[in-house]
Structure 1
Amino acid sequence: MATASVAFKSREDHRKQMELEEARKAGLAPAEVDEDGKEINPHIPQYMSSAPWYLNAERPSLKHQRKWKSDPNYTKSWYDRGAKIYQAEKYRKAACENCGAMTHTTKMCMERPRKLGAKWTSKNIAPDEKIETFELDYDGKRDRWNGYDAASYAHVIERYEAHDEARKNFLKDQQLKKLEKNNTENVEVVSDDEDNEDALKVDETKVDESKQMDFAKVEKHVRTTGGGSTGTVRNLRIREDTAKYLLNLDVNSAHYDLKTRSMREDPLPDMDPNEKFYAGDNQNRVSGQALEFKQLNIHDWEAFEKGNDVHMQAAPSQAELLYKNFKVNKEKLKSQVKETIVEKYGNAAAGDVLPRELLLGQSEREVEYDRADRIIL
């Protein structure tokens, strides 16, 4: 991209300019300011901060990088499907000869062709459709979900619910048949609820997979560097569970990393902790065995800095043994310090009578001091 012509600079001026850019990148000099008074990031390349020649820019600016062709007339609304605006009572001139509506011609009529059209019978006049025109922006033209009605998905949910109900009835019938067969053969029938549930689970595995909606067995192929396939692996998430990035749709909420599928912060920080089932990936780092492993690593680092030859990756068993010994010695030291303090000052929680010297801070013992503030025995 050709940029605006820059005045000729001598070698010394060019050297000073390069030193100034290095100082700005290091934070030793203030950043450059554009036409609007906003600071320009010194790490932005010159070919981006320099405006094209046809904009006649006299100084570096980022205005040409922003969306400067914005039309306020653009909209993201959609057509009101099936809306009617006027219902005529008799045929009107220039209307559709088949149905009598004014908003289309006879060739474009979507109704069933009548034996005698509305032009000759003047009966059953169709209402006029609502015709709208929108000037959509770039995103609106390419939005594949623009105008989608979420209520239209209700029939899909009903179909899956009916599918589940039919599968439960099928399993129930199979269980009843098995009980009847056992009764006829005089076999003892186990009435324990757990056994019945196990039997249901066994029968469920015999059902054809094409007839059951088992989302836990969704599988995908894993490609290798050689171009082949390693087979299948189970999906990472049950499909009924809500995805992490759908818990909070606010753009300023917790960041979701698409590459690693991780959301470190809590997407719902104001929610009741008792009702929350996901508090961010960082919650796993400060709970359970992850916290113990973190403390083990910190102990190894501190021990290595103090001169101990210990390494978590090279000798993990030795590092874990040293950490266990450290915790045991620490508990022993704490108990010794506690016993020493209790012997010296007593234990108020145990209900022991405190000495009068500690209770009132004075005693009847006479102490004499010399001129050097030493006690005379």
Structure 2
Amino acid sequence: MAFKSREDYRKGKELEEARKPGIVPSEVDEDGNEINPHIPQYMSNAPWYLKANKPSLKHQKKWRSDPPYCGISVWYDRGAETYQADRYRKGACENCGAITHDAQSCMERTRLKGARWTNLFIVPDEKIECSQMDYVSKRDRWNGCDLEAHACQVIQKHDALEEARRRYKNSQRLKKLEKKSSLLVPDGISDEEDGDDASMKVDERKQMYFARGGSTGTVRNLRIREDTAKYLLNLDLNSAHYDPKTRSMREDPLPDSDPHEKFYQGDNQHRTSGLAMEFKHLNIHAYKANEKGQDMHLQAAPSQAELSYKSYKISKEDFMSTVKDTIMQKYGNAAAEAELPKELLLGQSERQVEYDRAGRIVKGERASLRIALPRSKYEENVTINNHTSVWGSWWKDHAWGYKCCEQTIRNSYCTGAAGIMALTQLKIS
């Protein structure tokens, strides 16, 4: 808006107030229509980019309804041609000869010698239109759709499928009725075969997608409809989580129940059963082989990876059998012997040995030898230097010693009670 002085602004306000009660006639726009003075200024004033000289409501209406603007029903002609030249024109495409584009944006096949040099096979000029669409037509996904092509490709095909399905059902119903009538009349006329069923069915290639599950051709987690759904097995909020989008429940909803009595243990059970473990081992083998320098990739060459894994398993089994045979040849095979002692077969014998608390043999075959069972690899109950107790039997002030004389020197000579008294008097003094 143009700059106004204080006096002009005051006069404009007075004129606006006079127009509201009807004292002054209403303002007229460019087309001669009166403008309601009660309309707010932000609605009556046009945006700056329209460059309007006077207030109007034209910008509030559908001002793009007339040509050259178009709506949803108007679209450019697809592949329309205009003028067909008989020789090359200056400024036209050097490849095809059309003047509506240059050689860089030409969509024709690149010729060995273009139309500029041969003057042959000049392509007609394209029809170029300027389609200025409004807000709705820009965002309409079906704008420019060819209804005739859609009717031929989609609607007629579905109608043919429905008609073939209806005729096939009628023929099956007639066959059932004829079979029932033939059972009632034993010597009646045999059933006449209907016409060729193949003529009533649609081509299998056109009907393939009807056998698929869903629009993408996959159905996840199919179950028998008589079985209980996953989310109804355990209604506790703290039980296994159920994802309704993927219809998956990874954990076991009833972990404490008997596994032999339940038919569903969670989706994670499939990861450790069937061919899942075999695929996991195959993936690990390919990864380790790639780390060791072999050119192997499970996704890039799956057949090569599988053949390599099979040969690896065969060679591993051969190696393990060779190792087993070598060990048996060196140490023998006790299971292959013809006769074994009765004691080894039954796992028991008549020998009886009795020990005391110290581990010494009291009664048995070796009772006369009195050989105690060793409890450690070190010598036990062995005293030195007149000590009556072993080293480490006494502890005081973070030091080990002998309990008999309370000395903390390892190689000291035991003095008995006299040494303890001497140490006590020394501390007192």
Shorter-chain TM-score category? 0.3 to 0.5
Q: Which has the higher contact order (CA 8 A, sep 6+)?
A: 1
Name the larger-Rg structure: 2
- TM-score, normalisation: structure 1: 0.34
